[in-house]
Amino acid sequence: GTGSQDSQSACWRGFATTDRVIAESTDNNQPGGTETTLRLRAESGGDNTQTSGQYNATIVVTGVAL
């Protein structure tokens, strides 16, 4: 990924087919939980044409205690 600060849109990394920790905290978040925002970036590479417009994606997230 890029970036090292916990600031909006600063840190990102590519998708993987293996398990990956994307958020964690040592603070208690019971009973209300903690909001975590995930953002997506898309690219088609320098040799491809990507039509301008809005794209949608679906991500399935499973939360587990580490």
pLDDT of amino acid 4: 53
Mean of all residue pLDDT scores within the chain = 75
* pTM higher than the cut 0.85: no
Per-residue pLDDT averaged across 34-40, rounded? Answer: 77
CA-CA distances (angstroms) from residue 63 to 20, 23, 28, 31? 11, 10, 15, 15
> For residues 19 and 62, what is the distance between their CA atoms, to the nearest angstrom?
10
Q: Which of these, 9, 32, 12, 34, lies nearest to 22 by C-alpha position?
A: 12
- In the chain, domain spans: 1-66
Mean pLDDT of 3-8: 58
pLDDT at 1: 45
Cα separation of 30 and 37, whole Å? 18
**What pLDDT band is residue 25 in, cutting at 50, 70 and 90?**
confident
With 70 as the cut, is the pLDDT of residue 47 above it?
A: yes
